[in-house]
Amino acid sequence: MNYKVFTTLILGLCSCTIGAQTNSIASETEINADIDPQVYLDSIKNSFVNHAAGARIEKRWLNELTNQDLFEEMEQDITEASYDNDEGEIDGLTTDLLKKRLALLNEKTPFKVEYNSALERVIKTFLKKRKRSFERLIGLSEYYFPVFEEQLSKYNVPLEVKYLTIVESALNPTARSRMGATGLWQFMYATGKQYNLDVNSFVDDRIDPLKSSEAAAKFLSDLYGVFDDWDLVLASYNAGPGNVSKAIRRSNGQKNYWNIRPNLPKETQNYLPAFYATMYIFEYAKEHGIKSESSPFQLVETDTIGVKKTISFEQISKLLDISEEEIEFLNPTYKLKQIPHVSGKNYCLRLPIDKIGLMASNEDKIYAFVDYEEAKKEKPHFSTETMLAESTNVKARYHTIKRGESVGLIAQKYGLTAAQLKSMNNLKGNLIYPGKKLLVGKSVVAQASGKGGYYTVQKGDSLYSISKKVPGVTIAKLRSLNNMNEGDPLMPGMKLRLN
What are the pLDDT digits (tens) for 429-465?
A: 888 888 888 887 754 443 333 345 778 888 778 887 7
Could you give the count of Cα atoms lying within 13 Å of 104 in the half-sphere of its Cβ? 9
User: Which pLDDT value is given to residue 454?
Assistant: 77
User: Which pLDDT value is given to residue 288?
Assistant: 94
Spans of the chain below 50 pLDDT? 1-15, 17-30, 51-55, 57, 382-394, 443-451
User: Which pLDDT value is given to residue 339?
Assistant: 93
Burial pattern 338-363, b for ≥16 Cβ within 10 A else e, equals: bbbeeeeeebbbbbbebbbbbbeebb
Distance of alpha carbon 341 from alpha carbon 24, whole angstroms = 11
Task: Single out the residue of 222, 225, 217, 227 nearest to residue 260, CA to CA.
Answer: 227
Task: Single out the residue of 41, 63, 46 nearest to residue 317, CA to CA.
Answer: 41
Task: Single out the residue of 472, 490, 455 nearest to residue 385, CA to CA.
Answer: 455
User: Which pLDDT value is given to residue 468?
Assistant: 77
Q: Is the Cβ–Cβ distance between 430 and 479 less than 8 Å?
A: no
Distance of alpha carbon 482 from alpha carbon 442, whole angstroms = 9
Over residues 47-72, the pLDDT tens digits come to 776 644 444 545 555 555 556 666 77
User: Which pLDDT value is given to residue 49?
Assistant: 67
User: Which pLDDT value is given to residue 374?
Assistant: 84
Q: Is the Cβ–Cβ distance between 361 and 315 less than 8 Å?
A: no
User: Which pLDDT value is given to residue 59?
Assistant: 54
User: Which pLDDT value is given to residue 407?
Assistant: 87
454 by DSSP, 3-state: which? strand
User: Which pLDDT value is given to residue 21?
Assistant: 42
User: Which pLDDT value is given to residue 413?
Assistant: 80
User: Which pLDDT value is given to residue 409?
Assistant: 85
DSSP 125-137: HHHHH-HHHHHHH
| pTM metric for this prediction | 0.65
Helix axes 363-376, 37-46, angle to 10 degrees: 170
Provide the sign of the torsion angle of the four alpha carbons 63, 347, 19, 33, taken in this order.
positive
